[in-house]
Amino acid sequence: MIELTRKLTETWGPSGYEHRVRKLIQDEVKDLADEITVDPLGNLICRVGGKRSDGGTKIMIAAHMDEIGVMTTFVEPKSGFLRFANVGGLIHTTLIANRVLFEDGTIGVISVQDLWGGARTNVPNLDDFYIDVSDGNGTGKVQPGSPGVFYQRMEQRGTRLIGKAMDDRIGCIVAIETMRRLKKKTKNEVYFVFTVQEEVGLRGARPAAYNVDPDVAIALDVTGTGDEIHGRKMAVKLGDGAAIKLNDPGLVVPPAIRDWMIERAEKDKIPYQRELLVAGTTDASGIQMARAGVPSGCISIPCRYVHTTSETVDTRDVEACIALLTGLVKNPVKL
């Protein structure tokens, strides 16, 4: 699991350009699914198990493949510095001196106008930042419209995994490892969907849910924690188990879904936490409104420093999420 997490988090894949991540996942799960398709938007859809017509429940599992990043908008004519727009939710205070990787392999460095002046103590506007891709020979090849992601290696510190794009490659890991444990054996009709463009508006999950037409859905995504110094008041801690979502700004989890997850966790003696998130949402928010409506919940992986290059998760939480999801999709669904 550790090495697969390393491969996934270090793979280039901003919103709308998930093809490299999709290929890696497709190669990983090709022997774990009964059927694999890619829809017109780029979602990877993997069916495992029986058929709803045979008495099972059609379950959709969603984990998004994309990551936040940037897109170049303008090349300064004299310096060659790149101006850029955000792809997803950038945190401006984390940008200075970060490195950006473009698809052609070019690595740039983000800086800001007046670095040693006002930018030291004030949060600059995005228009004040630029990316330096100069090579000393005046041969920069990055053009407007080029997407990039933040460049960072994954590191392991005890049970902690630290890297960029844990949001939501670690959710993809939970889905893949659950598929591995199922070994294609479940009476439910389970669709593991690796979605696109979540970071720019849940754009992949909605059409995927319309296509799958599930009875129930579970999103897999990261959530913040409340265990940092002077942090938010939130009852989620790193290392305390799977976070079962109760509510976020885009999703009120139906009580039946909440109870289904909690009862399974308690029956299987899986450590869990109750999650109430006051900012942000997941693919479940889009899935719940597909067709005539889909009862939807979310298993969240606790994560510190979300939307930075040092997103931090705990392998014990990841294992708890895998165990919980496996139990939910393997057994009869009674809502």
Separation CA 245–CA 223 (nearest Å): 9
CA distance 248 to 277: 5
Reference 190, options 297, 284, 64, 61; nearest CA is 61
Beta bridge partner(s), residue 196: none
198 catalytically annotated: yes
Cβ neighbours around 55 below 10 Å, total: 10
Q: Are strands 272-276 and 242-248 parallel, antiparallel or unpaired?
A: parallel
Cα separation, 247 vs 262, in Å, equals 14
**Pick the catalytic residue: 18, 67, 177, 198?**
198
Give the gyration radius of the chain's Cα atoms.
Answer: 20
Sign of CA dihedral 234, 267, 258, 39: positive
Q: What 3-state DSSP class applies to 264?
A: helix
Rounded-to-integer distance, Cα 284 and Cα 250, Å: 8
**Active site positions, annotated:** 198
